[in-house]
Amino acid sequence: MKLAIYQGPPIRGQIETGFERLETQLCAAAIAGAKMVVFPELFLPGYNRPDLHQTLAQPINGQWTDRFADLARKTGCGLCLGWAERDGDKVYNSASVFDETGELLGHYRKIQLFGEMEKASFEPGDRYLVFTLAGQKAALLICYDIEFPQHCRALADQGVSLVLVPTANPLGFEHVSNTFVPARAAETGMTIAYANYCGSENDLRFAGLSVIAGPDAQILAAAGRGEALLIADLDVAKHVEPDIMSMQSKDFREVTTQ
Amino acid sequence: MKLAIYQGPPIRGQIETGFERLETQLCAAAIAGAKMVVFPELFLPGYNRPDLHQTLAQPINGQWTDRFADLARKTGCGLCLGWAERDGDKVYNSASVFDETGELLGHYRKIQLFGEMEKASFEPGDRYLVFTLAGQKAALLICYDIEFPQHCRALADQGVSLVLVPTANPLGFEHVSNTFVPARAAETGMTIAYANYCGSENDLRFAGLSVIAGPDAQILAAAGRGEALLIADLDVAKHVEPDIMSMQSKDFREVTTQ
């Protein structure tokens, strides 16, 4: 299966710009044979836009998700992206995944909210999403979620072999792309696709460095600091059963300190 | 300017497969806004096919170059690729570059032939190609050429800031992608796009790891071991004047050993 990740600048609150950019990248990726494109966190209406999160957040099965499904159908390429979701009086930092027919494969709410802005804008999620993509179990995490080994471990324990991760990772946190993402992949034997922003949004500068890491920590595709669309065949990734998988049989809560 | 590199398996002597693959990747890259796609060395008729080099080699302004130009015009995307060139009774390991209107920007013959197979199949080239791409001076090198610092130095001394490098780099030579290409870029302040094969061809297994390195040795895009199309914006690359540029004023032939 070919998977794509898109790294681009924030849309600066311009929702139609966002939809145009989704369509362009999906068209290009579809021609190159990609099954799906992963876009950054809160692609609509933007990550560092607390002024917009509450006012522009949309419901599941609302106008935005209808248009995401239409874009997938129209271009013949699935998509995974982050967006601000309203559910009654609560707003979530969410991500959805649609297959190339426009079917909603699943929806996920970020569990590990990062920093004051996120905690002011959003409620945390409380459940994992596991779905089937091209015959393998896949899951979503969002940004800071990936930094905690236990979330990847929990997903791997459910048989997940591919994790899609919309993110908004700023300058100064390059170790997430360079070290954490390959580490999580190798710790669990999963492939992890981490799609970040480049450029800046208000006072926040993003790190870029979007990456797909295979289960032996090898890099399957990596971006630099600028806009990039990367389309890579995942099937070359070695299917490894790392020794550390034996950690599955240990429950750390049972380990005591002398 | 957005530039793309394509990493794929060899075409196994199937010329029409090669043209189909060129067209698919050029279409995808054009939609994503790429000005040009760089393909591997001897993309037609294949790298490790000494049985085909002499028999299938084509002349400049022959059927192959006409079709390359047509593809560029039709897709709206320029291309740079390696192919076996016949000139009278001589055959060269060559690469050509066409802009998005189908204009031939230049043609280059590999200078540093590698190993017995290449030396049996090909004559070496004896001159650099410098051309203008999107307002900047660009040049071609092929595979082994990039391993010699003096070729990049000579190009940088002519004002070149971008070098396109079709390659066919085998397993065991990963240091070329990981170290030499970023080193050449940083030594000279140039951006270098190095497009390799993945998979195998007869008894030769390729390393993949195609890469675009910016002038401060930062990776602008990188592939893993499998098929990949990478489209990256080069304009984020820092325009650096490395200290080592002062080497321009030294001629190593004037340096003596005590």
Q: What is the DSSP code string of B37-52?
A: EE--TTTBT-SS-HHH
Token pair in block for residue B161? 């800031």
Between the alpha carbon of residue A58 and those of residues A9, A14, A19, A49, the distances in Å are 22, 15, 15, 15
- Do the Cβ atoms of B91 and B120 come closer than 8 Å? no
Between the alpha carbon of residue A54 and those of residues A58, A117, A118, A168, the distances in Å are 9, 12, 11, 18
Q: How far is A5 from chain B (nearest CA, A)?
A: 10
Euclidean distance between CA atoms A227 and B85, whole angstroms: 36
Query: What pLDDT score does B246 carry?
Result: 45
Query: What pLDDT score does A236 carry?
Result: 77
DSSP symbol at B124: P
* Residue among A212, A226, A233 minimizing CB distance to B236: A226
Residue A177, amino acid: S
Contacts of B229 in chain A (CB under 8 A): 32, 230-231
DSSP symbol at B2: E
3-state secondary structure of B253: helix
Contacts of A230 in chain B (CB under 8 A): 221, 228-231
- Do the Cβ atoms of A241 and A189 come closer than 8 Å? yes
* Residue among A208, A227, A232 minimizing CB distance to B224: A232
Task: For chain B, report the end-to-end CA distance as a whole number of angstroms.
Answer: 48
Phi-psi region of A162 (alpha: psi -120 to 50; beta: other; left: phi over 0): beta
Domains of chain B: 2-249 (3.60.110.10)
Q: At what angle do helices A149-157 and A181-188 cross, to 10 degrees?
A: 30
Token pair in block for residue B238? 């820092």
Contacts of A33 in chain B (CB under 8 A): 24
Q: List the pLDDT tens digit at each of the 258 positions of chain B.
A: 999 999 999 999 999 999 999 999 999 999 999 999 999 999 999 999 999 999 999 999 999 999 999 999 999 999 999 999 999 999 999 999 999 999 999 999 999 999 999 999 999 999 999 999 999 999 999 999 999 999 999 999 999 999 999 999 999 999 999 999 999 999 999 999 999 999 999 999 999 999 999 999 999 999 999 999 999 999 975 544 545 444 554 555 666 666
Cβ neighbours of B172 (radius 10 Å): 8
Could you please report the per-residue DSSP string of B21-80? HHHHHHHHHHHTTEEEEE--TTTBT-SS-HHHHHHH-B-TTSHHHHHHHHHHHHHT-EEE
Contacts of B221 in chain A (CB under 8 A): 221-224, 228, 230
Euclidean distance between CA atoms A176 and A213, whole angstroms: 12
Between the alpha carbon of residue B238 and those of residues A116, A181, B158, the distances in Å are 32, 26, 20
Euclidean distance between CA atoms B132 and B138, whole angstroms: 6
Euclidean distance between CA atoms A119 and B167, whole angstroms: 49
* Nearest residue on chain A to B210, alpha-carbon basis: A221
Residues 6+ apart with CB under 8 A from A125: A92, A93, A94, A108, A109, A110, A111
Q: Taking CA B1 as the corner, what is the angle to CA B223 and CA B139, rounded to the nearest 5 degrees?
A: 75
Q: Which residues of chain A have pLDDT under 50?
A: 239-240, 242, 244-246, 249
List residues in chain B touching A: CB distance below 8 A.
2, 24-25, 27-29, 31-33, 198, 208, 212, 214, 218-237
Query: What pLDDT score does A253 carry?
Result: 60
Query: What pLDDT score does B148 carry?
Result: 96
Query: What pLDDT score does A246 carry?
Result: 46
Could you please report the per-residue DSSP string of B132-182? EETTEEEEE--GGGGG-HHHHHHHHHTT--EEEEE--PBTT-HHIIIIIHH
Whether the pTM exceeds 0.90: the reply is: yes
Between the alpha carbon of residue B220 and those of residues A162, A245, B105, B233, the distances in Å are 24, 33, 24, 8
Choose, from A77, A143, A152, A198, the residue flagged as catalytic.
A143
In this predicted complex, what is the ipTM? 0.92
Euclidean distance between CA atoms A248 and B173, whole angstroms: 37
Between the alpha carbon of residue A2 and those of residues A77, A99, A229, the distances in Å are 11, 13, 13
Q: Label the pairing between strands A219-223 and A211-213.
A: antiparallel
Q: Label the pairing between strands B136-140 and A219-223.
A: unpaired
